Chain A
């Protein structure tokens, strides 16, 4: 009887306690309460990672905080046009903007962005216990200033890799034909010489056998920046020409005469190598940008190629878009022998590490609420599902998640390569004059592609044009 009364009393006490005390809230609902009803606006490029933010993370955040997030996804050029106009005119339309890895330097130079690290230090009430900047991969370094403060929450990151068709490379008949033709075993290329040999073999093999098959991709559009970037970000570094051949330590020299490498012997060899590949690539290569090389590979029209990692994932896994699912091998881009050693020793890089982050414009009218959202998408717990839905990895913890380990198998080790060899790749050089130098040299570059100027002479002209533009901008004194 006493025992029964005791239990009843304890239950009554517990019931009273639970009704008298307010429900224990988590960080997000507590921190968000102050900003309930606020609507945050973001603009970003329409990519799978961005769409995941729009469709999944933004509604989740709203559910937890009461802060609504509207994400405008649009084309790459529209996104920049709108974000820059907003920040220049200080209209405060956007609370979050997509910052691509290369434009960050121009934005920092113009003080467009809020220092996230500092803001969270200044107001610890906004700092989520689940958010830790040290969990980001090294890719986050591209969004930091000299003090190590971060100016963007990394949301997509990928490297430009060498893809090859495993079904073709492992076909005994093709292996035999290759051996007969070259005297070598058919395996993914390690050097430029290997790569050229394989490319020539498959282009000839496709022609001889009436197949819609060529030996290599080439992102070689004759009037679009994509080709310029393919050469300076993906091809030239594998010959040892880094940072577009511009040496900031030598008064921003581009020409060999002044200490630069844009028209060096290595750069000229790189150009000849690439032009030869372009000539034996599928006919659409002269009109291919970063997207179309992926499409060409996915259509099964090439045996190998350099492809941006964001495309590598869908090429290897999405049967609705790709004919080569299950037949995609991933490897490091081929290099000159000494370059790989140098890169491994920390002198230079092997290819392009691309991606973007979500930044907070200083013109935003809802900075505090935006800081909460930027932390929300930067925390470890949301990353694995995001990486499955839209292959990208920005936090180190993501690699070990079982879903990602499984996905890595489907992608033939792409995530492992990102984890282990990501350090060998680099983002754009830390110059705030990307667009200006590119625009100054691109017309000459396109003339090289069109055969209107010999490549050696063209690179000499480009180096001179780059230096003239840098002088114009006040860098060369």
Chain B
């Protein structure tokens, strides 16, 4: 029998935690140093704390607006994508559709080309096709929410399908025998059991939308600009404001941490759900 050596595991755990958290620590150190120190005495030691970068960021109404836009766009997109992916996966899992494996594969083809390829077509769609009088889809939150579906929905379908497949069909049949409608089966049987997978899908989709830069930079200007695109305002010909950018980055981590902490108990279950088919 192997001897238990808990201190080794503790050290290993500590080492890995430090390694994982190091970039965040580094980011934080940059965010609390004045610009002049960042280039003259680069140091990872937190000797002095300079809060002005945070004060500048928090006091900036424009940045607050970008943050709110990001929250609205990524949360709405994640919710919409999760619902649509859930319904799509249920259909692919439960109905005997002709060529459903081809449909399943086809969905992922959207993610095979880099987003840059779609930039110009989307720009024209947003500015010239989907218009109503003076109103354009360009620079609107709804436009960005729908746009991110293009890339996040295929991913969500692929992430969620094993979860739905993993829920025994017999449960649906039993509920149907008991008189449940299809909608009741979906909402009262499959949905509760799929919650871990849905949580994983939601959080990953949310993170993708939250972090996206390229499309947001091109398709937003004033009303729907997101926090990631706001960061580019600090890369200027008179210098990159690393301290401010780091402060923004640290602040943008907070919503992500909140969302993660809310759904984390589902994540492990969600990641392994359906992995072993019985």
A interface list, Cβ under 8 A from B: 41, 43, 45-48, 70, 72-76, 78, 81-82, 85, 89, 91, 93, 290-291, 294-296, 298-301, 308, 310-311, 314, 319-323
Q: Give A450 to B270 CA distance when docked, in angstroms.
A: 50
Residues of B with C-beta under 8 A to A82: 218, 221
Q: Give A45 to B238 CA distance when docked, in angstroms.
A: 11
Residues of B with C-beta under 8 A to A89: 123-124, 127-128
Which 6 pairs, one residue from A and one from B, show the smallest C-beta to C-beta distance? A299-B39, A91-B127, A46-B233, A75-B232, A321-B35, A299-B40
What is the distance, in angstroms, from B220's C-beta to the closest C-beta of chain A? 9
Is there contact, CB below 8 Å, between A291 and B238?
yes
Residues of B with C-beta under 8 A to A46: 232-236
Partner of A81, one of B34, B218, B225, B229: B218
Q: Give A321 to B124 CA distance when docked, in angstroms.
A: 42
Is there contact, CB below 8 Å, between A320 and B35?
yes
> What residue of chain B has the Cβ atom nearest to residue A290's Cβ?
B237
Is there contact, CB below 8 Å, between B235 and A75?
yes
Is there contact, CB below 8 Å, between A291 and B237?
yes
Is there contact, CB below 8 Å, between A45 and B236?
yes
Residues of A with C-beta under 8 A to B123: 85, 89
Asked if B138 is at the interface (CB within 8 A of a chain A CB), the reply is yes
- Chain B interface residue bracket vs A: 20 to 34
Residues of B with C-beta under 8 A to A291: 236-240
Asked if B222 is at the interface (CB within 8 A of a chain A CB), the reply is yes
The residue among B34, B238, B240 with the most chain A CB atoms within 10 A of its own CB is: B238
Asked if B251 is at the interface (CB within 8 A of a chain A CB), the reply is no
Q: Given A295-B39, A321-B35, answer yes or no on A70-B233 (Cβ-Cβ < 8 Å).
A: no
What is the distance, in angstroms, from A300's C-beta to the closest C-beta of chain B? 6
Asked if B36 is at the interface (CB within 8 A of a chain A CB), the reply is yes
What is the distance, in angstroms, from A281's C-beta to the closest C-beta of chain B? 15
Residues of A with C-beta under 8 A to B139: 93
Contact with A along B173-188 (1 / 0, CB 8 A): 0000000000000000
Is there contact, CB below 8 Å, between A72 and B236?
no
> What residue of chain B has the Cβ atom nearest to residue A76's Cβ?
B237
Is there contact, CB below 8 Å, between A70 and B222?
yes
Is there contact, CB below 8 Å, between A78 and B232?
yes
Is there contact, CB below 8 Å, between B217 and A78?
yes
> What residue of chain B has the Cβ atom nearest to residue A72's Cβ?
B221
Residues of B with C-beta under 8 A to A295: 39, 239
Is there contact, CB below 8 Å, between A47 and B238?
yes
Q: Give A295 to B236 CA distance when docked, in angstroms.
A: 12
Is there contact, CB below 8 Å, between A321 and B237?
no
Q: Give A75 to B233 CA distance when docked, in angstroms.
A: 6
Is there contact, CB below 8 Å, between B221 and A48?
no
Is there contact, CB below 8 Å, between B237 and A74?
no
Contact with A along B96-139 (1 / 0, CB 8 A): 00000000000000000000000010011001100000001011
Residues of B with C-beta under 8 A to A45: 236-237
Q: Give A314 to B237 CA distance when docked, in angstroms.
A: 12
Is there contact, CB below 8 Å, between B239 and A311?
yes
Residues of A with C-beta under 8 A to B34: 320-321
Is there contact, CB below 8 Å, between A319 and B36?
yes
> What residue of chain A has the Cβ atom nearest to residue B42's Cβ?
A299
Q: Give A321 to B50 CA distance when docked, in angstroms.
A: 13
Residues of B with C-beta under 8 A to A41: 221-222
Residues of A with C-beta under 8 A to B237: 45, 47, 76, 290-291, 308, 310-311
Q: For the A-B complex with A75-B235, A89-B127, A93-B139 known, give 5 more contacts whose Cβ atoms are closer than 8 Å.
A: A45-B236, A47-B238, A74-B233, A78-B218, A291-B238
Residues of A with C-beta under 8 A to B39: 295-296, 298-299
The residue among B40, B229, B237 with the most chain A CB atoms within 10 A of its own CB is: B237
Residues of B with C-beta under 8 A to A323: 36, 40
Is there contact, CB below 8 Å, between A321 and B240?
no
Residues of A with C-beta under 8 A to B127: 89, 91, 93
> What residue of chain B has the Cβ atom nearest to residue A308's Cβ?
B237
Residues of B with C-beta under 8 A to A311: 237-239
What is the distance, in angstroms, from B199's C-beta to the closest C-beta of chain A? 35
> What residue of chain A has the Cβ atom nearest to residue B219's Cβ?
A82
Q: Given A290-B237, A310-B238, A321-B239, answer yes or no on A93-B36 (Cβ-Cβ < 8 Å).
A: no
Residues of B with C-beta under 8 A to A70: 222
Contact with A along B22-55 (1 / 0, CB 8 A): 0000000000001110011000000000000000
Is there contact, CB below 8 Å, between B239 and A294?
yes
Residues of B with C-beta under 8 A to A74: 217, 229, 232-233
Q: Give A301 to B218 CA distance when docked, in angstroms.
A: 38
Residues of B with C-beta under 8 A to A81: 218
The residue among B35, B124, B225 with the most chain A CB atoms within 10 A of its own CB is: B35
Residues of A with C-beta under 8 A to B234: 46
Residues of A with C-beta under 8 A to B225: 72
